[in-house]
Structure 1
Amino acid sequence: MNNTMEAGPEPKLGYALFYGSIMALGLPLNAVSLWILLRHHSLKTPSAVFMVNLAISDLLLVISLPMRVYFYATGTWPLSDGACTLITMLFRDNIRSSSIFITFISVDRLLAVVYPLRSRHLRTACNALKAVGLAWLIVLVINIPERVIFSRFLESYNKSTCFEYHHNHHHPHHNGPVIAYVQSAIILTMLAVNIVCTTLVSWTLHTHLSDSARVNNKINVMLIFVMNLVMFIICFLPMSVGLLILGTPALTPLVCLATVNCCLDPLLYYFSLDAFWKKKEDADLPRE
């Protein structure tokens, strides 16, 4: 049962070090970001609602990393099967929820830049709360069959293979591939929406805000979209595609790469909030 765990201490220790570094960076960055968001914005704007939920999603991932560090450092799993399932779901939920919340941020910025007047009745905190509520519901619904599949896997295999699920149990008579298709469909759909949003906003800024006085504002706005695309292309897309084509330990580095998003998201907050504060101040000024 434990043969798959004996691939050698170096890659395991490397994974432990990697997850430890992500945890050391992600925990303070996201905790401080969440504190700033709640202190200065509460849940009064759509952007704040989306970012608060994104920060919560990242913190849920970060708190699951210590056990990944222990697992890859020792090659053993000391807790129950239920704990293994919970920690695994926290990781997968983060990938799905983060991709959705990042897309919400892109759509919100698209509406603010391209349709500033027509979208005012849509861009409310109430609608944003409904959207994130629906997103969490979708994530939890996907969790139901996934938890059943993972629990059956743990019953059949030694629990020391906790985080090696896709490597050891990728058989066609199980429903794992179905979940992989759902995961990939979500990521690819969200990526497509982000690409469309980026294209439309870039075109609008280029054609309607060409004066040099607004160059800084254009850069700030586009940085948000660039960061969103970077996170999809680097963090979410490789692992989602890998779920479809890889049934080997080659998937593990992609899982590591996916966790980097919890350290990149705070950069998105900083770029976004700077632009949001300026726009809010400008909106509050009387127009001549």
Structure 2
Amino acid sequence: MANGSLSNCKSVFDFQHTLYATTYTIIFIPGLLANSIGLWFLHQFISKKNKAIIFMINLALADLAHVLSLPLRIYYYINHTWPFKNFLCLLCFYLKYLNMYAGIIFLTLISVQRYVFTTNPFKAKDWKRRYDVAISIGVWVVVGTACLPFPIYRSSGLNNTTTSCFADLGIKQMNAVNTIVMLTVAELAGFVIPLTVITYCTLKTRTQLKEDSLQCQNIKEKRKALWMVIMCASVFFICFIPYHIIFFFYIMVTSHVIQNCTFQKIIMTVHPFSLCLASINCCLNPIIYYFTASEFQNEVVKYSNSVVRARLMRESVSSR
């Protein structure tokens, strides 16, 4: 390969500050409102029998944690300086990956649960809510621990006088073994396995629906389950597949395994776009709650009817 260092190719991705500031500004308000309202709605139905509620609550919490860190990211990318503590910088950086991988796991769990309970209704009756709570706690512990290397990997050169953060953080050079271990775990556990599971659940749920449609068995409920799984798969495919494909080559470039300058420019140019695309998941995930959960649809109808009735009563009183 040609001898081209990453520093010599740096000018090609100077645009990323504008890209990040624009993307985060656009998704902040919709993400904040959608996940806050979604979390409130989900809490109202926590005692209902919908088995996916606990996982959806955790998905909303993961999204909200990332969304609440966006104003600091926006500030940095607009002003090009970080006046806050280094810990806060690394915390925001950490929350980004915590949101991504927790979101991936909870999307996978929602898909699996919908598929299993749709094809095996008796398992749904025997399943306890506390099982979902225990699984969720386990997910946060495992994912929270697994994401710690990301801020550590990007903390090179940080000190009390550092004014850089996020995309401008230094990259710690690791030996080949550590690089391969981190990359393998991230790609397998955070991408390949969830992708395989979600794809399998989507295809099997679709097949099950076709078979049951011939026998006219529980078509309505199974169609809802299929849409739930399809929405999980859509969010995964849109937000996370491009990022993880680019992420593999990004690690290879930043670790100087790949030193070809032309290839570096391509990867370092595409990587910010894939990262922005991954951030959009905090706006897309609420669609799963609003348009695939029958409880939400019923509650929206009830709320709309109550508003209309209240308005009609006020108009009736005022006209007397």
Smaller-chain TM-score range? 0.7 to 0.9
Q: Which residue of 1 aligns with 2:242?
A: 238
Q: 1:154·1:162 contact (CA, 8 Å) conserved in 2?
A: no
Distance 1:124 1:76, change over 3 A: same
Which amino acid in structure 1 is aligned with residue 203 of structure 2? Answer: T
Q: How does 1:47-58 map to 2 (within 5 A)?
A: 47-58=52-63
Could you tell me how far 1:88 is from its partner in structure 2? 0.5
Could you tell me how far 1:157 is from its partner in structure 2? 11
Distance 1:157 1:138, change over 3 A: farther
Could you tell me how far 1:12 is from its partner in structure 2? 2.3
1:18 and 1:144 mapped to 2: Cα distance? 25
1:124 and 1:277 mapped to 2: Cα distance? 24
2:12 and 2:208 mapped to 1: Cα distance? 53
Q: How many residue pairs align between the two structures?
A: 274
Could you tell me how far 1:264 is from its partner in structure 2? 0.5
Could you tell me how far 1:6 is from its partner in structure 2? 7.1
Q: How does 1:39-54 map to 2 (within 5 A)?
A: 39-42=44-47, 45-54=50-59
Unaligned runs of 5+ in 1: 279-288
2:16 and 2:147 mapped to 1: Cα distance? 29
2:131 and 2:296 mapped to 1: Cα distance? 18
Which amino acid in structure 1 is aligned with residue 18 of structure 2? Answer: L
Q: Which residue of 2 aligns with 1:282?
A: none
Which residue of 44, 56, 77 corresponds with 2:82? 77
Q: Which residue of 1 aligns with 2:271?
A: 251
Where relative contact order (Cα < 8 A, 6+ residues apart) is larger, the structure is 2
Which amino acid in structure 2 is aligned with residue 169 of structure 1? Answer: I
Could you tell me how far 1:112 is from its partner in structure 2? 1.5
1:192 and 1:156 mapped to 2: Cα distance? 44
2:33 and 2:130 mapped to 1: Cα distance? 29
Unaligned runs of 5+ in 2: 1-6, 254-267, 299-320
Distance 1:230 1:170, change over 3 A: farther
1:148 and 1:96 mapped to 2: Cα distance? 17
2:80 and 2:222 mapped to 1: Cα distance? 49
1:46 and 1:157 mapped to 2: Cα distance? 50
Which amino acid in structure 1 is aligned with residue 186 of structure 2? Answer: Q
Could you tell me how far 1:275 is from its partner in structure 2? 7.0
Q: How does 1:30-41 map to 2 (within 5 A)?
A: 30-41=35-46
Q: 2:239·2:278 contact (CA, 8 Å) conserved in 1?
A: yes
Instruction: Out of 31-40 and 175-184, give the one that drifted further.
Output: 175-184
SS of residue matched to 1:63: helix
Could you tell me how far 1:173 is from its partner in structure 2? 2.9
Q: 2:93·2:151 contact (CA, 8 Å) conserved in 1?
A: no
Note if 1:62 corresponds to 2:67: yes
Which residue of 269, 277, 282 corresponds with 2:289? 269
Q: How does 1:162-173 map to 2 (within 5 A)?
A: 162-165=166-169, 169=171, 171-173=173-175
| C-alpha RMSD of matched pairs (Å) | 3.1
SS of residue matched to 1:160: coil
2:54 and 2:173 mapped to 1: Cα distance? 40
Relative to the length of structure 1, the TM-score reads 0.83
2:161 and 2:102 mapped to 1: Cα distance? 29
Note if 1:19 corresponds to 2:15: no
1:63 and 1:150 mapped to 2: Cα distance? 21
Which residue of 209, 212, 233 corresponds with 2:213? 209
Could you tell me how far 1:164 is from its partner in structure 2? 3.6
Which residue of 119, 128, 134 corresponds with 2:132? 128
